Amino acid sequence: MFISTKGRYGLYFMTVLADNYNSCKRSVKSVAIERGISDLYLEQIVAKLKKANLVKSTRGAHGGYELSMPPEDISVYMIFKAVEENILVIEQDEKDTKNEKYLWREMRDAMSGVMKNTTLYDLITSPDEIEEYMFYI
């Protein structure tokens, strides 16, 4: 499974909004500066989040973006579904055996379950001691 920068930045933007839920709105530019990414690129991602009704915006001096619902109601799956073209794609080969196809389906379903059962609230309240890691297959 490959998570693109769209997915990563969309998730980061949403966790920032979750951290600020019911306290303040955030601009795309301020989040882009924090993350060190292009605000134009992040704006494209945020437009998809807005279209999926995960965020709402307010114009004006005290404007910006905020979550459209509580963090506990927004799953990681909802975020990735909004910004990624394809999520949890495991390509099958016509030479795959029945057992291999079963394994690919089980892996996809397991990842999907984790994403559907993990909310923004879970992410912002998880322990800070979690070490960074990468998986290589």
pLDDT at 1: 61
105-121 average pLDDT score: 91
The percentage of residues in the chain with a pLDDT greater than 90, rounded to a whole number, is 61
In CATH, what number is assigned to the domain containing residue 29? 1.10.10.10
Residue 108 belongs to a domain: no
Answer whether 13's CB lies under 8 Å from 76's CB. no
| Residue 68 to residue 135: CA distance in whole angstroms | 33
Question: Is residue 93 over pLDDT 80?
Answer: no
Give the helix ranges, DSSP H, for 74-119.
Answer: 76-83, 98-117
Q: Is 65 left (phi over 0), alpha (psi -120 to 50) or beta?
A: beta
Number of other residues whose CB lies within 10 A of the CB of residue 126: 10
Closest CA to 51 of 43, 63, 40, 59: 43
Q: Domain count for the chain, please give it.
A: 1
Q: DSSP assignment, residue 12?
A: H
Q: Which domain holds residue 49?
A: 5-89+118-125
Q: What is the pLDDT of residues 20-53, one digit of tens each?
A: 999 999 999 999 999 999 999 999 999 999 999 9
Q: State the average pLDDT over residues 83-88.
A: 80
Q: What is the pTM of this model?
A: 0.85
